[in-house]
């Protein structure tokens, strides 16, 4: 590169790719054909070992290309990975507007609006997919952009995201034994792919590599309504309290107890119906979305019929489906956790030392929080939910702090 024209860029938001800049990545290994015979010996083979395995050598074999660059045909016929040499820098734009007000009785109210936009985000797809205008019968491999390779796993860095959220928080500072925080969020999260910053996003849910905006839809974390409530209440029982205001054994038994609770509720997350049958698009890559001929929702969804599979049909061969990504939403989530605790001061161990006992009940109401339905169109049990995410769990504990 001529002097004065150097450019330095970070690779990408998903910076765990294994290509090391050369555009492809190879893992070298050897496997014993019978899983018994050693490949090589790190130390000089003993006489008996050499007699058993006459070809056994000391140390690993030399690399195939110790002093030269592999030929251009080195990986022909194989799937490879690719990271752009000059990946654009991902960046975020943000705006935040917030209003706060102190109400009577120690109640604090905060209302705000948040907007974020992501540019040049990771978009993992197969860059060797047959283009739409070349779909058809015949040898599809020859219609790939790089027919010498199979799949070409790539991070194209042309994804985007948008988030709009209204947040309301109501807080009561700790007084008279009571403290609580309640917050509600009403939001919309959209993106082309929800990436975990590792080798892919959305479990590979992409239909057409060359048009990322065709994948634009609700993000995996899109939950339009989220409500959280946290409360701590010191029961008014025991010495210095409204009830049983005395010391002694009775206070040790019934006084000083504290109840805390966390309640969470949010809308269901989105999911994508895909064809569960063989991909007849002829594109040799990615997923195959169905054609959408109806809304897909049902009046009273239940675990045996969460959505209407008849609203999604198989596209014609050598075509892509017109349904989108994350077009349906799964079950909502509700959870109530409750804790009961009491601390016993231990002055002999120093100021602030205490012994605490507590009982915790997670998902105390045993509310079933179901998983996603089977969304593979054309398979057995499509639309049926067969998993749950939570169940009631109880535990007892003790802690000594000093």
pLDDT at 66 exceeding the cut of 70: no
Give CA angle at 281 (279, 283), nearest 5°. Answer: 95
Q: How confident is the model at residue 197 (pLDDT cuts 50, 70, 90)?
A: low
Please list, residue by residue across 337-371, b when 16 or more beta carbons sit within 10 angstroms of its beta carbon and e when fewer do.
Answer: bbbebbeeeeeeeeeeeeeeebebbbbbeeeebbe
Task: Name the one residue in this structure whose structure tokens are 């029961």.
Answer: 235
Nearest to 279 by CA among 155, 376, 142, 148: 376
How far apart CA 278 and CA 358 sit, in angstroms, is 54
pLDDT, position 130: 96
Cα 335 from chain centre: 20
Nearest to 141 by CA among 188, 77, 201, 193: 77
Q: What percent of the chain has pLDDT over 70?
A: 88
pLDDT, position 63: 63
pLDDT at 339 exceeding the cut of 50: yes
How far apart CA 156 and CA 124 sit, in angstroms, is 6
pLDDT tens per residue, range 108-167: 999 999 999 999 888 888 999 999 999 999 999 999 999 999 999 888 888 899 999 999
pLDDT tens per residue, range 341-390: 988 878 777 777 888 889 999 988 888 899 999 999 999 999 999 998 87
pLDDT, position 237: 80
How far apart CA 248 and CA 255 sit, in angstroms, is 10
pLDDT at 245 exceeding the cut of 80: no
Burial of residue 229, with CB atoms counted within 10 A of its CB: 0-12 exposed, 13-18 middle, 19 or more buried: middle
* H/E run at residue 74: none
pLDDT, position 52: 84
pLDDT tens per residue, range 317-327: 999 999 999 99
pLDDT, position 70: 64
Residues 6+ apart with CB under 8 A from 257: 234, 235, 237, 238, 340, 341, 342
Residues 6+ apart with CB under 8 A from 154: 81, 82, 83, 84, 124, 125, 126, 127, 209
pLDDT at 203 exceeding the cut of 70: no
Average pLDDT across the chain, whole number: 84
DSSP annotation string for 234-277: E-SBSTTSSBS---HHHHHHHSSEEEEEEEEEEPPPEE--EE-S
pLDDT at 298 exceeding the cut of 60: yes
């Amino acid at each position: 590169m001529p002097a004065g024209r150097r450019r330095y860029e970070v690779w990408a938001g998903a910076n765990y790719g294994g290509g090391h800049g050369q555009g492809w990545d190879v893992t070298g290994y050897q496997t014993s054909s019978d899983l018994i015979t050693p490949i090589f010996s790190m130390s000089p083979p003993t006489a008996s070992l050499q007699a058993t395995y006459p070809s056994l050598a000391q140390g690993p074999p030399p690399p195939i290309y110790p002093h030269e660059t592999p030929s251009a045909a080195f990986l022909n016929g194989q799937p490879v990975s690719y990271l752009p040499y000059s990946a654009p820098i991902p960046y975020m734009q943000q705006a935040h507007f917030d209003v706060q007000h102190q109400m009577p009785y120690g109640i604090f109210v905060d209302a705000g609006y948040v907007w974020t936009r992501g540019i040049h985000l990771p978009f993992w797809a197969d860059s060797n997919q047959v283009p739409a205008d070349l779909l058809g019968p015949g040898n599809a491999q020859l219609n790939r952009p790089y027919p010498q390779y199979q799949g070409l796993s790539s991070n194209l860095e042309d994804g985007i995201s948008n988030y709009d959220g209204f947040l309301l928080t109501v807080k009561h500072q700790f007084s008279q034994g009571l403290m609580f925080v309640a917050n509600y969020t009403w939001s919309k999260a959209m993106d082309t792919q929800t990436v975990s910053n590792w080798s892919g996003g959305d479990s590979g849910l992409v239909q057409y590599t060359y048009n990322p905006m065709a994948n634009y839809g609700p993000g995996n974390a899109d939950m339009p309504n989220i409500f959280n409530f946290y409360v701590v209440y010191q029961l008014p029982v025991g010495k210095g309290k409204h009830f049983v205001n005395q010391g002694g054994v009775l206070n040790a038994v019934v006084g000083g107890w504290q109840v805390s609770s966390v309640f969470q509720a949010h809308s269901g997350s989105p999911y994508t119906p895909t064809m569960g049958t063989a991909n007849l698009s002829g594109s040799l890559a990615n997923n195959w979305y169905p054609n959408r001929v109806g809304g897909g929702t049902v009046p009273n969804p239940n675990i045996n019929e969460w959505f209407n599979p008849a609203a999604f049909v198989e596209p014609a061969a050598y075509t892509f489906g017109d349904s989108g990504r994350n077009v349906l939403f799964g079950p909502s989530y509700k959870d109530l956790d409750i804790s009961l605790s009491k601390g016993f001061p231990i002055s002999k161990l120093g100021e602030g030392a205490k012994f605490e006992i507590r009982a915790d009940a997670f998902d105390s109401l045993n509310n079933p929080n179901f998983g996603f339905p089977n969304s593979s169109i054309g398979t057995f049990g499509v639309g049926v939910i067969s998993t749950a995410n939570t169940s009631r769990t109880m535990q007892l504990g003790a802690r000594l702090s000093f």
